[in-house]
Amino acid sequence: MSTRVLTGITTSGTPHLGNYAGAIRPAITASTQPGTDAFYFMADYHALIKCDDPARVARSRLEIAATWLAGGLDPERVTFYRQSDIPEIPELCWLLTCVTAKGLMNRAHAYKASVDQNTAKGVEPDDGITMGLFSYPILMAADILMFNAHKVPVGRDQIQHLEMARDIAQRFNHLYGRDYFVLPEVVIEEEVATLPGLDGRKMSKSYNNTIPLFEGGAAALKAAVMRIVTDSRQPGEPKDAESSHLYTIYRAFATPAESAAFRAQLEGGMGWGDAKQALCDRLERDLAPMRERYQELMANPGRIEDILQAGAQKARKLAVPFMEELRQAVGLRAAAAPAGKAAGKKTGKAARFVSFRDDDGTFRFRLLGADGQELLRSRGFANPKEAGALLQRLQAQGGHDFLQAEGLAYAAVLDGDTVAQGPQAADAAQRDALLAQARQALASLAG
């Protein structure tokens, strides 16, 4: 059995070297492992919480998709899509919102941090806090639960959100009496590289200390590396490799043998200028081929769009029927009718009974839904009056008392006698959906 792994990246900026080493590269590597069913998506709905610049969000969606593909992600092997191309995700988000306690959201770290900042500034606790920020964990839960991911790799700052997703899933399962959702497991990547930025702090757009991955080409990469802060030791003086940001970044891309050689050179007195050039050369070996693919993709956005739409189709093959099942669970609507039937085709008609004489000379009646779907077919009667009397009895009583499931079908049973049967379903869930449609149709006729 394969393990479904799901990872998302927010489309609010341009990927940098730290994003690649810390998230993109390990995710791509993981997707190639046997028994892994990988779902990777661009969280562009989440970006709206953090960014109100439409041009930046649109550009970021393109850049991030091109980065993953240039980095070696195989869209034939994984399901790669944009969050906003799956309309079932926000629909599920609302279903989950309706079962999520506000108190749970009050405890979310991001919300509490914003409240604390407002309190420190002496303004209203919720000043400037949107419902997007407040309910962010529910949308994240919908991302995960829509595809019933088994494992979700996250940083330590996201562990609470995974715990909330599990709480929400358990609540829904309990309320609606079935394990609709798998409880996702958090995966902490302890060995994933966390790269220092130009100033030694964690590489982050928030600190404006990033090294570009592809944007600006080799010149921009070299210019950033040359700005990395080093100590005052001169050429010829031994350097402390372990405390050197240059060595940390070099080690994240080099082989063990290459790292050992670079370390020996630093400890042997290599100058910082030469060390920075050596780092540039090592990074270029990996990044130059990917940068070329990235530039080709960015010059052909239609190719990226085709890949993402194909990924969305793969994702929706799972999302659409699952959402139908969840709608049925909460009582919103029936699931899809069996293949080949006219479910979903609007005829403008109400549910109705139709009487007819069969080829064998017996008299029968059928119950048709508003969409023309046959929901019941009676057994044959020799006397049309007998068939008519039973039809009127079914119509007068509604369908909750005498409609009974029988295997993968259902039947109308009056006084211990089966008088009509429903269609054969593919599975129990489809049978239950059809049974609900039949009861609804009979109830409308009785009314």
Closest CA to 246 of 260, 229, 232: 229
Looking at the fold, whether 312 and 359 belong to one and the same domain comes out as no
> How do residues 361-388 score in pLDDT, each as one tens digit?
788 888 888 877 889 899 888 888 888 8
Q: Look up residue 119 and give its two tokens.
A: 């309190």
Is there a binding annotation on residue 341?
A: no
Please indicate if the annotation marks 118 as binding a ligand.
Answer: no
Q: What is the mean pLDDT of each run of 10 residues along the chain (447 residues)?
A: 90 92 90 94 94 92 96 96 97 98 94 95 95 96 97 85 96 94 85 82 88 95 96 94 94 95 96 96 97 97 96 95 92 58 50 80 85 86 84 73 84 86 84 86 78
Report the alpha-carbon distance of residue 443 to residue 148 in Å, rounded.
Answer: 35
The answer to whether position 341 is within a domain reads no
Q: For the segment 208-251, what is each residue's pLDDT rounded down to a tens digit?
A: 899 999 999 999 999 999 999 999 999 999 999 999 999 999 99
Do residues 131 and 29 share a domain?
yes
Task: State the sign of the Cα–Cα–Cα–Cα dihedral 390, 393, 394, 395.
Answer: positive
Q: Which two tokens stand for residue 365?
A: 């009646």
Rounded to whole angstroms, the Cα distance separating 210 from 224 reads 8
Cα 39-433-414 angle, rounded to 5 deg: 160
Residues 99/175, Cβ–Cβ less than 8 Å: yes
Residues pairing with 8 in the sheet: 41
> 84 a known binding residue?
no
259 among the known binding-site residues? no
143 among annotated binding-site residues: yes
Residues 29 and 124 both lie in one domain: yes
Residue 274 lies in domain: 205-290
Is residue 240 part of an annotated ligand binding site? Answer: no
pTM: 0.71
CB count within 10 Å of CB 341 equals 16
Q: Is position 343 within any domain? A: no
Q: Please state the separation of Cα 344 from the chain's center in Å.
A: 27
For residue 11, say whether it is annotated as part of any ligand binding site: yes
307 and 418 share a domain? no
364 is in an annotated binding site: no
Q: Using an 8 Å Cβ cutoff, are 409 and 376 in contact?
A: no
CB 325 within 8 A of CB 172: no
* 255 marked as binding residue: no
306 is in an annotated binding site: no
C-alpha dihedral sign at 370, 371, 372, 374: negative
Residue ending a domain, among 241, 268, 290, is 290
271 plus 314 within the same structural domain: no
Q: What was the pLDDT predicted at 189? A: 65
106/63 same-domain check? yes
CATH number at residue 278: 1.10.240.10
Ligand-binding annotation for 202, yes or no, is yes
- Strand 352-357's sheet: what is its strand order? 352-357, 363-368, 374-378, 417-421, 409-414, 403-406
31 and 122 co-located in one domain? yes
Which token pair is 431? 């049978």
pLDDT value of position 360: 75
In a domain, 151, yes or no: yes
Distance from chain centroid for Cα 202: 27
Within a domain: 234: yes
How many domains is the chain partitioned into structurally? Answer: 3
Does residue 389 sit in the same domain as residue 316? no
User: Is 130 part of any domain?
Assistant: yes
Counting DSSP H helices and E strands in the chain, the numbers are 17, 11
- State how beta strands 36-43 and 79-82 pair: parallel
| Residue 67 is assigned to a ligand binding site | no
CATH of the domain at 387: 2.30.29.80
Helix, strand, or coil (residue 355): strand
Residues 72, 213 within the same domain:
no
Yes or no: say if 236 and 43 are a contact pair by the CB < 8 Å rule.
Answer: no
3-state secondary structure of 74: coil
pLDDT at 344: 42
Q: Spell out the residues 6+ positions from residue 164 whose beta carbon is closer than 8 angstroms to its own.
A: 104, 108, 137, 138, 140, 141
Q: Which whole-number Å values give the CA distances from 33 to 37, 197, 393, in the listed order?
A: 9, 30, 61
Residues 144 and 16 in one domain: yes
Question: Is 231 known to sit in a ligand binding site?
Answer: no
